[in-house]
Amino acid sequence: MAHHEVERFSAGARLFHWTVTITAIVLAITGLFLWVPAFGSLAEDSYSRIIHRVAAVILVAAPLLFFISRPGRALHFVKYIFTWGKDDIEWLKAAPDYYFGGDEKKMPPQGEMNTGQKLWSLVAFLSVIGFVVSGAIMWFAKASIPAELFLWVTIIHDLCFIVSASMTLVHLYLGAIHPRMTESLKSMLKGKVSVEYAKHHHGKWYAEISKGKETDNKQAPSTH
Amino acid sequence: MAKAILFDSTKCTACRGCQVACKQWNNLEAEETVNTGTYENPPDLSSRTWLKMRFIEPPDGDGKVWLFSRRACMHCTEAGCVKVCPTGAVYHHEEGFVAYNKDICSGCGYCVDACPFDVPRMVGSTLTGKKKMEKCVFCADRVANEEKPACVKTCPTGALIYGERTEMVDLAEQRVSKLAADGVDAQLYGKDELDGLHVLYVLAHSPKDYKLPVNPEVSPSVTLWQDILKVMGYAAVGAVAGGLLLNYMVARARMVKEKEGK
């Protein structure tokens, strides 16, 4: 049983994830040139802005391409991250005990994405919309909108960054560093997780995908 | 010691020699414009027009009042442009005015929207964002060599004077009292505005009549953005990073304990 693995992320989903990852890192770094005074000199002569804008186009194009090529999957994702229930509240209440102390007794069973992943996806989804709308205004409408409005649009752009950068740290930590999240990074690189990990961390999801397939695995999925 | 340019609107004949001298000294190309029925030309400041004269007929002047005013960078002490510039390209010169190092300008254009007087102009490509800001530089090169700014040097009527700011304030106040004694509703603009402008105006009407903002201020959103939001950003990222580090240490210690227990 130890060798059995299930597919968690398709090749397309992984390509999308890492495209957005690299793009977001480039956008964050080139954006920080204008934020941190010590990096200011790196923004001289606008080259970092050109890179920022090329990356911005990719950040807009990638989700659009995903949506066009896999509309069902994309819609499912959007619907999923906006659907919140009782289990999510329970998860949020129980999460500190689990992530600090490893106490998993109170963790409700989780679906394809756990509540934390849903929360992160929601923040990423909404902040990208915030970035794109405010960024497009800063790019194309700077000369035609009142100065005061431009200042507010810039503030929104920066606010999106504060929220999404903070959450990116959490995402990076839980995905790749937290000592109990043993297969999270692997799943996004290779697409698969072990059956044990799937049952343990995404019980509801595992029950769904294994319905009718694995008759030898009748035991109830354990928590989270 | 802070320097200043004093513009006395009551001595100005609107010859626009200053406009031409500015272009000539700073190598700024002429602009092709259309006749709109006024001597005022070009219609606005641009990346190659850093100084222009305004010809104003105030609506309540019954067609008998014709005001001339100087439009260029006001060189504020509390300067919105300096506050928002991410690279330090726009900065306060030791002589008080707002100098500009074009080489290190990133072209963000934040200064344009932070300026209470709508002075900085951008030149470059909107598509790529490869741009540079342009504005009056107080003829920093001339001033450094103890020369007057080009506009002052060329002024034939003494409407533009250049010198130590304190002396210019004294001179302007004397001029205002003299005009007041002659029955003119004269006032000084720029002494205290934005902690002191480095271009002072002797006006014969209200600032509003000269299309100058009454009580100009750096927008509160600039303060919110630069002084509050940025600090919030560092605090948020720092707090999250600290929390995660703490979590790592606690979770790790717990797992080691579990293993030892087994």
Q: What is the pLDDT of residue A203?
A: 85
- Which residue of chain B comes nearest to A144, CA vs CA? B113
Amino acid A1: pLDDT? 45
> In this complex, do A102 and B254 lie within 8 Å of one another by their Cβ atoms?
yes
Average pLDDT over residues A49-74: 95
Q: Is the dihedral of CA B124, B130, B135, B140 positive or negative?
A: negative
Domain boundaries, chain A: 78-181
Quick one: average pLDDT of B73-85? 97
Q: In terms of CA atoms, which chain A residue is nearest residue B251?
A: A100
Contact of A16 with A66, CB cutoff 8 Å? yes
Q: Which domain holds residue B223?
A: 219-262
**For residue A122, how many other CB atoms are within 10 A of its CB?**
16
Gap from B64 CA to chain A (nearest CA, Å): 34
Share of chain B above pLDDT 70, in %: 100
Token pair 């066009």: residue:
A68
Identity of the residue in B109, B126, B251 whose CB atom sits nearest the CB atom of A179: B251
The confidence score (pLDDT) of residue B60 equals 82
| A117-127 pLDDT, tens digit each | 999 999 999 99
- One domain, residues B117 and B47: yes
B231 and B102 share a domain? no
In order of A52, A136, A146, B41, B221, the CA distances from A152 in angstroms are 20, 14, 10, 33, 7
Q: Is pLDDT above 90 for A110?
A: no
Question: From CA A18, how far away is CA A185, in angstroms rounded?
Answer: 12
Tell me the two tokens of residue A224: 């989270």
Longest dimension (CA), chain B: 100
Picking from B200, B216, B232, the residue at the C-terminal end of a domain is B216
Q: How much is the average pLDDT of B211-225?
A: 96
The alpha carbons of chain A give a radius of gyration, in whole angstroms, of: 20
B130: contact with A, CB 8 A cutoff:
yes
Write the CB contacts of A211 (distance below 8 Å, at least 6 apart in sequence). Answer: none
Q: Do B254 and A101 touch (CB under 8 A)?
A: yes
CA distance B257 to chain A (A): 11
Closest alpha carbon within chain A to B240: A166
Task: Among A100, A169, A173, select the one facing B250 at the smallest CB separation.
Answer: A100
One domain for residues B118 and B232: no
My answer on whether B191 and B228 are in the same domain is no
B255 vs A: CB within 8 A: yes
Label residue A212 by pLDDT band (50, 70, 90): low
Our count of domains for chain B comes to: 2
CB B112 within 8 A of CB B95: no
Q: What is the mean pLDDT of chain B?
A: 95
CATH number at residue B155: 3.30.70.20
Q: Indicate whether B110 and B235 sit together in one domain.
A: no
Residues B131 and B210 in one domain: yes
**Nearest to B5, CA basis, from B231, B169, B224, B173:** B169
ipTM (interface predicted TM): 0.91
> Does the pLDDT at position A218 exceed 60?
no
Tell me: do B134 and B223 sit in the same domain. Answer: no
Q: How far is the C-alpha of A160 from the C-alpha of A134, rounded, in Å?
A: 9
Q: What is the DSSP letter of B229?
A: I
Check whether residue B193 and residue B231 sit in a common domain.
Answer: no
B147 and chain A: CB distance < 8 Å anywhere?
no
- Cβ pair B9, B203 in contact under 8 A: yes
Q: How many CB pairs under 8 A join A and B?
A: 134
Residue B140 near residue B3, CB atoms below 8 Å = no
Strands B3-8 and B199-203: parallel
How high is the pLDDT of residue A125? 96
Token pair for residue A54?
């090329």
**Are B202 and B6 in contact, with CB atoms under 8 Å apart?**
yes
Per-residue confidence (pLDDT) for residue A198, from 0 to 100 = 87
Q: Which two tokens stand for residue B194?
A: 């934005």
- The reply to whether B88 touches chain A by the CB within 8 Å rule is yes
pLDDT given at position B236: 96
Average pLDDT of the residues in B192-216: 96
Residues 202-221 of B with CB under 8 A from A: 219, 221
Q: What is the C-alpha end-to-end distance of chain A, expressed in Å?
A: 20
Give the global pTM: 0.90
Residue pLDDT, tens place only, A142-153: 999 999 999 999
Q: Do B193 and B246 sit in the same domain of this protein?
A: no
* The pLDDT of residue A33 is above 90: yes
Residues of chain B with Cβ-Cβ distance to A166 below 8 Å are 236-237, 240
**CATH numeric code, A78-181:** 1.20.950.20
Q: Phi and psi at residue B98, in whole multiples of 5°? A: -95, 105
CB contact under 8 A, B219 and A151: yes
Smallest CA–CA distance from B117 into chain A, residue: A147
CB B113 within 8 A of CB A138: no
pLDDT band at B101 (very low <50, low <70, confident <90, very high): very high
What pLDDT is recorded for position A207?
Answer: 86
Do B26 and B39 belong together in one domain? Answer: yes
Grade residue A217 by pLDDT with cuts at 50, 70 and 90: very low
To 10 degrees, what angle do helices A86-101 and B230-261 make? 70
Q: What pLDDT, on a 0 to 100 scale, did the predictor assign at position A213? A: 60
Residue of A nearest to B86 (CA): A34
- DSSP class of A61: H
- Other C-beta atoms closer than 10 Å to the C-beta of B56 total 18
What is the distance between the alpha carbons of residues A197 and A203, in angstroms, rounded to a whole number? 9
pLDDT at residue A219 in the model: 46
Contact between A45 and B106 using a beta-carbon 8 Å cutoff: yes
- Which of B84, B101, B108 is best to mutate for the A interface (most A CBs within 10 A)? B108
